[in-house]
Each structure stands twice: as structure tokens, then as C-alpha cells.
Amino acid sequence: MADDPLVIFTPSGKRGRVPVGTPVLEAARRLGVDLDSVCGGRGICSKCQVAPGKGAFPKHGLTVAEDALSPVNAVEERYDRIRGLKPGRRLGCQAQVQSDVVIDVPPESQLHRQVIRKSAAERVMAMDPAVRPFYVEVVEPDLDDPTGDFQRLSQALEDQWQIKGLRADLDVLSRIQPVLRKANWKVTALVWGDGRQPPQLIDLKPGLLETPLYGLAIDLGSTTIAGHLVALDDGRVLASSGLMNPQIRFGEDLMSRVSYSMMNAGGAAEMTLAVREGLAQLASALAGEAGITPSEIVEAVIVCNPVMHHLMLGIDPVELGQAPFAPATSDALVLRAAEIGLGIAPAARTYVLPIIAGHVGADCAAVVLSEQPQKAETPVLIVDVGTNAEIVLGDKTRVLACSSPTGPAFEGAQISSGQRAAPGAIERVRIDPDTKEPRFRIIGVDLWSDEDGFAEAAKATGITGICGSGIIEAVAEMRIAGLVDPSGLIGSAEQTGTARSVPEGRTHSYVLHDGTAEGGPRITVTQGDIRAIQLAKSALFAGARLLMDEFGIETLDRVVLAGAFGAHISPLHALVLGMIPDCAPDQVTSAGNAAGTGARIALCSRAARVEIEDQVRRITRIETAIAPRFQEHFVAANAIPHATDPFPELSRVVTLPQVGFNAGDGDRPRRRRR
Amino acid sequence: MADDPLVIFTPSGKRGRVPVGTPVLEAARRLGVDLDSVCGGRGICSKCQVAPGKGAFPKHGLTVAEDALSPVNAVEERYDRIRGLKPGRRLGCQAQVQSDVVIDVPPESQLHRQVIRKSAAERVMAMDPAVRPFYVEVVEPDLDDPTGDFQRLSQALEDQWQIKGLRADLDVLSRIQPVLRKANWKVTALVWGDGRQPPQLIDLKPGLLETPLYGLAIDLGSTTIAGHLVALDDGRVLASSGLMNPQIRFGEDLMSRVSYSMMNAGGAAEMTLAVREGLAQLASALAGEAGITPSEIVEAVIVCNPVMHHLMLGIDPVELGQAPFAPATSDALVLRAAEIGLGIAPAARTYVLPIIAGHVGADCAAVVLSEQPQKAETPVLIVDVGTNAEIVLGDKTRVLACSSPTGPAFEGAQISSGQRAAPGAIERVRIDPDTKEPRFRIIGVDLWSDEDGFAEAAKATGITGICGSGIIEAVAEMRIAGLVDPSGLIGSAEQTGTARSVPEGRTHSYVLHDGTAEGGPRITVTQGDIRAIQLAKSALFAGARLLMDEFGIETLDRVVLAGAFGAHISPLHALVLGMIPDCAPDQVTSAGNAAGTGARIALCSRAARVEIEDQVRRITRIETAIAPRFQEHFVAANAIPHATDPFPELSRVVTLPQVGFNAGDGDRPRRRRR
């Protein structure tokens, strides 16, 4: 009514009139203001703390009187005595509106608080997890009331929180009676809901739950499984960990695992078991790191590509190994954690992102969720570099995706001194263009190899080999330094002017580091290594070029390198190598583990899940295996950086020498070749 | 339009006008006529057969022309050639309406055909199973279509059968790809739906499924587990079997099993495992009997009382052992068969009827479903006699229920020569009122013991003891013959005039059969046996009387005896014993295994499930344990048939002798006692 007090909430600005005596929490509900409450207004959870304004607010045209809110009552006094209320704060469920007032809702009292992701993406997102705690007081049974305890619990949740149609798995049902009685019928129900399926009771805790809820975000890659334990109240990462995918023993890459399942009866089942064990192990490690038990984790989100997806779910991936590469199912899935043996709360739900079909997987969906190409004004290329490279090109008008079989060279496989990224592996390389001398960094040591103290520091791990990012930089540096010609041929000592170029069979190798004196390996870049890298990078380039053809563009304004590996690739070296089409080097950025970030976003926000499920339907997939121009683009990309494209953007920053080493030219003068 | 042909369907009488050329099947759909189709109109399943009328139909005001339907087409000719069409029949999906026509839909073409239950209940019910077969042709994948096989299968089911939002368990998803390909994309989907939860894909069969679908109806009793394998197209029972409840080794009756769980950590889990093994065994036996594999069974319905309910579900029943006897959950449940290890199709759903709480269980709900007291004009008493007697009294106005702890005496326990019903057990007894000589029948032999050939026939099993129905008849006959007085005391040889009354300690026993000469037992009815029966029947009577008090009635018009045991009790003897309140003997009937029948009804009809869930909420439960008048009714019922009630209805049919045997009266003349 017109005379009722006017309440204005900040920061939202929502306002309205409420009758005198209305509790602030209720006023917030009526006006649609985001103010949290777990205990449902009983003054014990303190989530609804607010800071009432004082004095004049010309902007709002009102003045807040001293007694705009009711005096502090016994409940608030008790709360302040036991736990303390910050000065100026009131409990929204206790304080009642008496006259015009401005009320500020501090961030920690907001249910859908904004979180800034501490990642390169700097993405602002509203927390909207699927599992939330709801404190209720349940009516006790008596001889006149024939209903079950679960029915009365459900009724309490409906009455106090408008949760309708609650369901519970058998194992949860079997636990509620002791909890209810031990807690004297005052419990916190952990309820999962996605707004589409009926809400599920995940667990029941005695009394008011004081700790946050925990969720798991998992990026299930072919080579590495990475996971994050996340607090579901504010999205902060409490623990991160990873392990090698235990399926590697069945096949280094995806296609060899598909072959394994085709050749071995029960092979798919073996791999399913192996990967589930790995996932459970990861969940356990993350819980341990955060100091909780795995059963306290109440939700999980998993992203993975189609082959990993099927194997994890226990579906034989054989159809994914042959045209038309049809998956058994492509929509998002909600499973019980126990169905895949995850070892967290058994009734916890696990959300699996949708796959885009073929070889473009849920991890690509997660990349799209994280990078949001569909909101870009101009097309952005996103490359998730792994054993299978997943490439997305999109803008506001459309999003295309494809998968390119790069093979494991980028992860150190097929490389003579190659190894996975681990302490002791060479991860960065620079070669002096004049002296041809190399300097490098190894994982685990912060110094370059030509700096004082390096030899000492390297003793701990030794210098053991070269990993993916190292070999990419090595090859690119060799090209910049003129040790390798555009065709990829390593020159002889005479042609290159360095004794580090040594004969090896009918070709030459470049000695990066000879550790034999210390009992370590001699780490060289061989001609075979160059070829392996050339093939891998050509596949990546060709995939990207196909998407650009389909999009109708010839040049790129922006490239994002994603994937755990993508975070470590130097954009400049990636361009020199010609792994990606030409682009201004300062427009090539790393998104870190975009798939993992996407998983975390989906974990923290149901709205994001709906968004990605919708986006996935709009993504157009290009199948590289049968694209007519793939071979052409592939062959043209063999050269470093490219056979015909002059890479103008790169050229503004780096001048690549024009050299040419023909087999047998060793004795003849250098010929200039473009 | 007004000129369009008029189509009249019989037997429903539904009518309407459809354009020339409309297939009969489509006309039926438009007019809401029940005409089945599995193949969706492709002319291969023959479920839509119809019989068009010929000539004049004055009642309907039309004449059917010779060419009222289109001529037999190639599809029908082919069908007739390969499988045969009865004369006068047409395939509804092929025949098109050309002019006015009357079309009869034979019963086998009706989807919701009426089935007459071959039971004492003679209940007519419409088939409405939850799982049905749907033939579809699925679009094949191709490189331009990125969706998964499951998505295209779901789309086909939505397009052709309006099934929306289909889901599938993981194990089903993992099977669809090979089936689709082997069947060249033509499959029959077995879809479960209850109209409330999303539809579930239970299984996928190649091609058109020719066999019916199978379901399981299980009555999970404390002592016996009984099951029926049912064909879901027409409700016929294909196999029936039973086994002893494996939990008996943990406790003879429910309360001793609850005690076992309270005294033994892990005791409840042991019992859960035991009963689930029993259920799986039963499913396997039924499948074997019907010549199918257990995995072909696609749905199950289970009825059980609250303690069995909780143990089967893995819920500790401890709260059911003490006031207020609150169950963990009381609503109907839908589980996956695999959750309780049932061993049928793993994705098969299992519907568990709701429990009425306290000690009145889902089997009582099933009794209500089967007997439908809520539709009776005058109150009917339904007694489900088992270890725990469940008693229902109801009519159109209301339904009351209670549970009475009769104990296992009615099943032969606590009886000196008592045994469970098995071949060799005395099951029926008659005693000549003059000679006091008994004659009896044993299970497995069709002759009475005084008939020629009996001794020979009985050699196979021997005469081993007396079971529940036998002891009831024995006691009642002893009362009729004047061998036992109204207080339950057995007279001496002198008092009774038969040497069959022998001294036993300070009391007497009646020798029913002395088999010692043949090496068999001497089967007597002892005074202890009489007392045990008196206690058991008093509890039953008291429960029934409490309900009558609550209902406000003094007399009964109708009684139904249910339970596997109830089927074998002679109504007359039950009245003589005073097990039930007085009622005209011809109004006391046996419903056979009403709980089992109720399970079958729920299996065959989703509408029945909704009905019982609704009814259960309306049933008022009376708790015998704390009812003030229980003790009073119990004590008054000790006498045979009753201390004060003259049982006028019984008296019209049977005159009970007035005898009295006081301890120590052996030497004194008989005194008349009322």
C-alpha cells in the first residue's frame, strides 16, 4: 500500500513497499532480491546478514531513520554473543522493516554471488550449483500418523522450501531414520535439482550443516585425467590433481584403444574398469588433499571426448572407430556416481557434458563453455591440443568444430628423446641464431641452462629428455636459427656451421644436450623427430584450415590454445612451426585447461549446463576424415611453417632465414631456396 | 465433413465421419477406439485385425456396401499368404474407408482388452501394462548427422508413437548399437512408462517382436514367497511357484527377525541378502518353468508387509519393532530390478506397492486392490491370515485396517505334531460326533483316511504331522463332537467316551492317528495345541472386533479369507473356532491368495497402481498394540467360539454341544455349562 515503508535493496536496486513488521528476508523474497538462507529464518545460519543504510539518501529520495528496522531481538543477541555479528550488520530473518530503509546485501549473503574465475579467461559467472543444503525441522511420527519418515521429510522440504516431488535412492532411504532420530528431527537435507528431473535427496546431515558442499570437476583426457575439488558455495578450488590415464597400457592413443576393443573380447570392459579405477583414485586423492572424505563430495561433472566417454560409461567404442563414427548417445547424461564407481557420495549425481559426435567430444563442449566463441564478434579459433586435437572456429553467427588426428608426438611420444612432461624434461629451448648454441629450461628448475647454478639445481632430477612443449620450441628455434630448412631437413655441420649437427645414418641430428659425462642421456633432435612433429602439426593446421574454408575466411584475428598442453606452448613458436594458421602473435593466447575450466563452470552453474546443451546442438561438425581438401591442406602444411602461405603476420615479428639443405648437398655450396 | 463416410466401431459404439481413403487404424485413433498396433501400420504385426460388417444395420441406420472398404491390397495378400487371415478379417492399417461401414474390433485386437481373472474374485479388468513393445524404423547415422544412435531411436519413438523424453540406463545404452545394426535399423523398443516418470527404454529387440512380454508378480510373505510369471499382452499366468522365505533361519516370525537385526550388527544386511537370493531364485524357477530366460522378464511387482519391505530394500527394520512403528518410507516405489538383485532384465522396473504403515503392509494394499472393499455397499471384512494377520474392514464410505500378532500357530508352529503344509501333512479332519472317530485327508492324497486305498496311497509320503488348516479343523471338529469344551479343555476318556482321549501329564490329548506300527509318528492334538490355537485365533478375532467397533457395527454380512493359508481354511470351521466374528457361513468365502492376485492386478494395470496408491492414503490404520479394548476382546475370544457372543448365524447351521470339563471333573458327573 502507498503508505507502507519503502525498502530499497543494494546492489541490485530492487525496491518495493512492504507492510510494517515484515522481516527483511521476507521483503527480499517478495522483491526477488538474492538473499541467502539455509536455516529458513530461524536465526542460526547467519547467511542472511544485511547492512542497513543510515541517514539521507538523496539518490533514492529518502532518509533512513534510526529505527527503520526493529530493535535487535533476543535471537540476534544470542547469535552475536555466540558467533559475533560484524558492526552494522543485522540478521535479515530477524530484523523487521518499520519505515523507509536502504538495505545492502553483502556478497557473502548472496546466494547467486558473482565469482571471478582466477583464470586467463577472467570469466564472471553466477554460482548456481545443482546441490544445495536445506535445513528443516521434521514432524515426528506418532501412532496416529501412518506416513513414513521420508514422507514427512519431503513434506517439510515442500512446506519450507517449495521442493516438490522429492525422490531418494535406496541407499539414502536406508540412512535417514537414524539421522533423523539422532538429530532430534532437525536436519539439513542435501538436495540435487536441475529443474528438469525430479529433485533427489543426496544425503541427510544432522542439525545445521556448517561446512560447504563439495563437488568434483574432471577433465578425462586420453593421456591425463585432471580433477579439481570445488567448494560449491563460492566456486573456489580447494584441491587440484591429476594422474596418467590407466588405459594407456591398452593403447597410446584413442584409435589404438578402439582397436584393442575390436581385437579383444572383453577389451572394452577392461578399459572401462581401468579408467573407472583411475577416476576413483583421483577423487580419493583430491579429497585427501582437501582434508575431507570422498563420501563428502556430493556432485561431479565430467568432460571427455567420445571414445573416453563411451569407455567410461561401459559402452563399446567400436562404432567410433569407423565411418560414420556414430556414438551410442550424444546428449548430456546424469548418472549416479555409484554407476561408474566414483567412490564419492553414492547417491551423488554425475553430469556428463554432451558430445558433439564423431571425434569432437564433450571436452570440446567444455572448451566452448569456457571460451564462449559463440559470443565473439569476429571468428576465434580455439585449439585443444592433445592426442586428438579438437578445433573450434566460431563467432556469434555460427560455431564449427572438427577433430584432427595429430597423434601423440606433441606429448613426447614418437620423439627420440621424447618423454611426458615431468621434472627433468626439457620444456623450453632457445637457440642463438649466430652461434647455433642452445640454452634450455627443464621442468622443476627455474633457471635457464646457461645461468649460474643450473647444473647444481639440475642434479636433483637430471636432464632426462624433452617433452612436447620443448620439442615444439626446439624445432621452431632450429628453423629460426637456420639449422632446419623449410622442408624440415636438418643441415650438416658444414651447411649449418655447428658441430652440434652430427651425422646419423643418412641424415643429421642436432645435439641439444650431451649428458653422458654425468651418466645421463644424450638428448638430440633427430630427422625422424622433425618428421614426426611435421606430421602432427600438419594435421592440426589442416583441420583449422578446413574450418576456415567452411567459414569462408582466409585470415584469423584471434587464436586460443587450450588443453593442459596448450597452456605451455609458446604462441610464437607455434606460429613459426606452422601448427596453426597465421595470426598476429599477440592475438594468440593460452586458455590453460579450457576443458577443465568448462567442467568447473558446469559444476558451479546449472544455467551453464543448459547453455552448453543448447550450444552443442548448434555446433556444426566437420568430419576431417572425408573432407576433400584435407589432404591438400595437410601436404601444404608439411613445410615449416608452410609451403605456400607466407605467414605475413608472423613475418612482421620474426624473419625466418631462407636456407635449403638437399640430401647430398652437403658438399655443394648452399643454394637459396624459398 | 457431412458427406464423409460414417464409421461405427463395435463393441464400443464410437462413431464419426472420416474422409474417403482413411485407413481404419487411423479412423480408430481419431475416434479414440481401442485398436492395437505394434508395427505402427506396416502390415506385419496383425494386431489391428478388424471384422467389417456386411449389409443392413437398421439399428445404426446404415447399410454397408460391398466395397465399403478398399479392396484387399498386396500387403494384406502377402500377410494372408504367409500367416493367414481369418475369413472376413481385414488389416486395419491397410483397409481404407470408402463409404459407410460398421467395424467390429475383436478382443485380441484390443489393446486394453478385458480379462476375466480366473479366481474366486472373478474380476474383470482392463490390461494396461507398464511395458509395451513399439516397432520403429530408425534413421541411420551418416557423416552429416552428428547425433547419437540413442537420439535417433528416441526421435523415431517420438515421431511414430508420441513417446517423449525417453531415457535409458547405462547398460541398455551399451547394447543398442549392435542390435540396431544387426537388425538393419528395424527394431522393437520395449518401453516402460507409468505416465508420471519419464519413459524408460528397457530393452531393444531386433525386428518385430513376435513373443509376448513377461512380467513377475511376487507376494513376498514372511514364511512363503509366491510368484507368478504373467504374459503382459493378456494377463494369463504362465507359471506359478513358491519357496520358503530364506529369512526363516534368522527368525520364525517378523518380530524375531526385527530382534535379530537389533541384536546383531549386520543382521539386517544378512537378511536382506538372504531374501534377495530367494527372490532371484524364484524368478529363475518361474522363467525355467515357462521355458524362457530370466532376462526376458521385463517388469516385476512386489507386495510385502512393512518388515519384509524394509528388509528387501536394505533398510534396517528396527523402527518397525517399537512404537510408533514408523517406516522409513511408505509410498509406492519404482526401482530397477538390478537394485535388488532380481536377476531379470537389469533395466526392468520393479514396482513395490505402498505400505499402510505400522504393521499393515503392502500385501494388505494388494488385498484391497484385489477385493476392492472400497466399492462394497455394506462392510466386508477381509482377513489375510499369515504369521501376522492383516485385517481390513471397509465399504464405500471408508476402509479401516489393522494388523494382529497371531503368531505362527496357524502355520503349524508351536503345535506338537505341527508342520508346514507339505505332502504327508494332515490338512482336513472330520470327527464323527457319535463315535468320536476321526477321518482325515493328507496333502498329496485325494482319498479320505477311511476310504479304500488310502493306506496304500499314503505310503508314498507317510502321515507325518498336521498343518495349519488341519489343526483348525481338528480343534473345531473336537468342539463340534464335544471332545473339547467351550473353555478349550479336552475331556478325559470317561468324560468324552472315547479311548482316543489319552492322559498326558495333567491334561489330555486326542489321538488323531497312531502311525507307530508303520514306523511313523503318533499324531495327537494336545491341550497345549488347543491353547496355542486359542491364543492365535483370539488375536485375530480381537483385531476384527476392534475394526468393527471403530466402524460402529455389531454384525458382519460378509467375510473374505485371504492369504495362501486363507484359501485352505474351511469357513465353517473358522466360525466354529471363533477365529472370525459371527457371520452366515455361506457369506464367508476364500479369496485365495489375494495379495498375490493384487500383485498380478498391479502388474497388468497401471490404473490399478494409481488406484491403490490413492486408496492407501484413505485407509485408516488402527494400532492394535495400544487399542484400549484389545485385551478385553482378546480375553472374550479365548473361548470356543466365544465367551459371550452366541454366534447366531453359525448356530443356524451348527449346534455346538454344551459340555464342560473341569480339571478334576473326571470323576464327577458332567455339569451343563454354557
The DSSP code sequence of A546-573 is HHHHHHT-S--SEEEEEHHHHTTS-HHH
Position A575 scores a pLDDT of 95
Residue A566 has pLDDT above 80, yes or no: no
Mean local confidence (pLDDT), B506-534 = 93
What DSSP state is assigned to residue A500? T
Mean local confidence (pLDDT), B112-136 = 71
- If one counts every other C-beta atom within 10 angstroms of the C-beta of residue A549, the result is 16
User: How far apart are alpha carbons A215 and A600 in whole angstroms?
Assistant: 9
User: How far apart are alpha carbons A548 and A552 in whole angstroms?
Assistant: 6
Out of A229-243, B19-33, B394-408, B627-641, which region has the weakest mean confidence (pLDDT)?
B394-408
Mean local confidence (pLDDT), B124-134 = 88
| Interchain pair B176, A330: CB under 8 A | no
Instruction: Point out the residue among A168, A198, A324 whose CB comes nearest to the CB of B141.
Output: A324
Residue identified by cell 517478495 is: A30
Position B664 scores a pLDDT of 52
Residue A591: pLDDT band (50, 70, 90) is: confident
Closest residue in A to B311 (Cα–Cα): A174
Determine what percent of chain B is predicted with pLDDT higher than 90: 60
User: How far apart are alpha carbons A401 and A391 in whole angstroms?
Assistant: 6
Residue identified by cell 615449416 is: A640
Question: In chain A, what's the furthest Cα-to-Cα distance?
Answer: 105
Position A120 scores a pLDDT of 35
Position A121 scores a pLDDT of 39
The continuous run of DSSP H or E covering B243 comes out as strand B237-244
Model confidence over B397-455: pLDDT tens digits? Answer: 899 988 887 877 877 778 999 887 778 899 999 999 999 999 999 988 989 999 999 99
Distance of CA B434 to the CA centre of its chain: 41
Distance of CA B264 to the CA centre of its chain: 33
User: How far apart are alpha carbons B459 and B78 in whole angstroms?
Assistant: 61
Model confidence over B564-605: pLDDT tens digits? Answer: 666 678 889 999 999 999 999 999 988 777 788 889 999 999
Position A288 scores a pLDDT of 95
**B268: phi then psi, degrees, rounded to nearest 5:** -60, -40
User: How far apart are alpha carbons A24 and A98 in whole angstroms?
Assistant: 10
The interaxial angle of helices A306-313 and A254-263, nearest 10 deg, is 40
Position B483 scores a pLDDT of 96
Residue A358: pLDDT band (50, 70, 90) is: low
Position B124 scores a pLDDT of 61
Count Cα atoms within 13 angstroms, Cβ side, for A150. 28
Position A596 scores a pLDDT of 83
Residue B163: pLDDT band (50, 70, 90) is: very high
User: How far apart are alpha carbons A187 and A179 in whole angstroms?
Assistant: 8
Model confidence over B300-322: pLDDT tens digits? Answer: 999 988 999 999 999 999 999 88
Position A362 scores a pLDDT of 67
User: How far apart are alpha carbons A231 and A237 in whole angstroms?
Assistant: 6
Cell of A538: 600438419
Considering chain B, what is the average pLDDT of its residues? 88
Q: Best residue in A170, A197, A309, A624 to probe B by mutation, most B CBs within 10 Å?
A: A170
> In angstroms, how far is the first alpha carbon of chain B from the final one?
82
Determine what percent of chain A is predicted with pLDDT higher than 70: 94
Mean local confidence (pLDDT), B357-366 = 67
Position A503 scores a pLDDT of 95
- A402 by Cβ neighbours in 10 Å (0-12 / 13-18 / 19+) ranks as buried
Model confidence over B196-219: pLDDT tens digits? Answer: 889 999 999 999 998 999 999 999
The interaxial angle of helices A594-604 and A606-618, nearest 10 deg, is 130
Residue identified by cell 513377461 is: B214
Q: Does the pTM exceed 0.80? A: no
User: How far apart are alpha carbons B540 and B563 in whole angstroms?
Assistant: 14
Instruction: Point out the residue among B176, B328, B358 whose CB comes nearest to the CB of A150.
Output: B328
Mean local confidence (pLDDT), B605-619 = 88
Q: How far is B241 from chain A (nearest CA, A)?
A: 28
Position A322 scores a pLDDT of 87
Residue B674: pLDDT band (50, 70, 90) is: very low
> Among B137, B174, B140, which residue's Cα sits nearest to residue B156?
B137
Model confidence over A183-207: pLDDT tens digits? Answer: 999 999 999 999 888 999 999 999 9
Identity (one letter) of the amino acid at B476? Answer: A
Residue A178: pLDDT band (50, 70, 90) is: very high
Q: Examine residue A11 and say whether the peptide bond preceding it is cis (omega within 30 degrees of 0).
A: yes
| Interchain pair B174, A621: CB under 8 A | no
What is the SS3 assignment for A575?
helix
Q: How far is A289 from chain B (nearest CA, A)?
A: 31
**With contact defined as beta carbons under 8 Å apart, do A217 and A227 qualify?**
yes
Model confidence over A299-317: pLDDT tens digits? Answer: 999 998 889 999 999 999 9
Model confidence over A550-559: pLDDT tens digits? Answer: 999 999 999 9
Residue identified by cell 584413442 is: A254
Model confidence over B8-48: pLDDT tens digits? Answer: 998 778 889 999 999 999 899 888 888 888 787 778 787 88
Residue B143 has pLDDT above 80, yes or no: no
Position B670 scores a pLDDT of 47
Considering chain A, what is the average pLDDT of its residues? 88
Cβ-Cβ contacts under 8 Å, B337 against chain A:
none
Q: Best residue in B177, B302, B350 to probe A by mutation, most A CBs within 10 Å?
A: B177
How many helices (H) and strands (E) in chain B? 18, 31
Position A673 scores a pLDDT of 46
Residue A540: pLDDT band (50, 70, 90) is: very high
User: How far apart are alpha carbons B469 and B482 in whole angstroms?
Assistant: 20
Model confidence over A118-160: pLDDT tens digits? Answer: 443 345 668 899 999 999 999 999 877 768 999 999 999 999 9
Residue A379: pLDDT band (50, 70, 90) is: very high
Cβ-Cβ contacts under 8 Å, A319 against chain B:
149, 177
Residue B673: pLDDT band (50, 70, 90) is: very low
Model confidence over B418-433: pLDDT tens digits? Answer: 887 778 899 999 999 9
Position A79 scores a pLDDT of 87
Q: Examine residue A521 and say whether the peptide bond preceding it is cis (omega within 30 degrees of 0).
A: no
Alpha-carbon distances of B244 from B220, B274, B301, rounded to whole Å: 10, 11, 19
Identity (one letter) of the amino acid at A4? Answer: D
User: How far apart are alpha carbons B33 and A353 in whole angstroms?
Assistant: 43
- B125 forms beta bridges with B115
Residue A38 has pLDDT above 90, yes or no: no
Position B117 scores a pLDDT of 45
Alpha-carbon distances of B55 from B27, B104, B196, B302, B529, rounded to whole Å: 21, 14, 46, 51, 74
What DSSP state is assigned to residue A141? P
Q: Do β-strands A167-168 and A200-206 pair in parallel, antiparallel, or remain unpaired?
A: parallel
Mean local confidence (pLDDT), B482-510 = 94
User: How far apart are alpha carbons B317 and B355 in whole angstroms?
Assistant: 14
What is the SS3 assignment for B249?
helix
User: How far apart are alpha carbons A415 and B318 in whole angstroms?
Assistant: 65
Strand order through the sheet with B101-104: B15-17, B6-10, B101-104, B49-52, B90-91
Residue A671 has pLDDT above 60, yes or no: no
Residue B83: pLDDT band (50, 70, 90) is: confident
Instruction: Point out the residue among B314, B329, B623 whose CB comes nearest to the CB of A143.
Output: B623
Q: How many CB pairs below 8 A link A and B?
A: 124
Alpha-carbon distances of A1 from A10, A32, B295, rounded to whole Å: 22, 18, 67
| Interchain pair B148, A356: CB under 8 A | no
Position A94 scores a pLDDT of 92
> Among B639, B606, B431, B451, which residue's Cα sits nearest to residue B530?
B639
Position B323 scores a pLDDT of 81
Alpha-carbon distances of B619 from A146, A622, B391, B392, B625, rounded to whole Å: 10, 62, 12, 9, 18
Model confidence over A603-643: pLDDT tens digits? Answer: 999 999 998 888 888 888 888 877 889 999 999 999 999 99
The continuous run of DSSP H or E covering A470 comes out as helix A468-480
**B276: phi then psi, degrees, rounded to nearest 5:** -65, -35
The continuous run of DSSP H or E covering A306 comes out as helix A306-313
Model confidence over B368-388: pLDDT tens digits? Answer: 887 888 888 999 999 887 667
> Among B380, B385, B423, B373, which residue's Cα sits nearest to residue B573?
B385
Q: Chain A residues with CB-CB distance to B under 8 A?
A: 141-143, 145-151, 168, 170-171, 173-174, 176-178, 197-198, 313-316, 318-319, 323-331, 335, 339, 355-358, 621, 623, 626
> In angstroms, how far is the first alpha carbon of chain A from the final one?
83
Beta strands in B467-505 (DSSP E): 501-504
**B288: phi then psi, degrees, rounded to nearest 5:** -60, -40
| Interchain pair B330, A626: CB under 8 A | no
ipTM of the complex: 0.77
> Among B426, B383, B641, which residue's Cα sits nearest to residue B533?
B641
> Among B106, B82, B86, which residue's Cα sits nearest to residue B33?
B106
Out of A308-322, A329-343, A401-415, A497-511, which region has the weakest mean confidence (pLDDT)?
A401-415
Cβ-Cβ contacts under 8 Å, B150 against chain A:
328-331
Higher model confidence: residue B181 or residue B625?
B181
Position B668 scores a pLDDT of 44
Cβ-Cβ contacts under 8 Å, A328 against chain B:
148-150, 173-174, 176-177
Mean local confidence (pLDDT), B151-175 = 95
| Interchain pair B141, A326: CB under 8 A | yes
Model confidence over A428-486: pLDDT tens digits? Answer: 999 999 999 999 999 889 899 999 999 999 988 889 999 888 999 999 999 999 999 99
Mean local confidence (pLDDT), A522-537 = 94
Model confidence over B535-570: pLDDT tens digits? Answer: 999 999 999 999 999 999 999 999 998 876 666 788
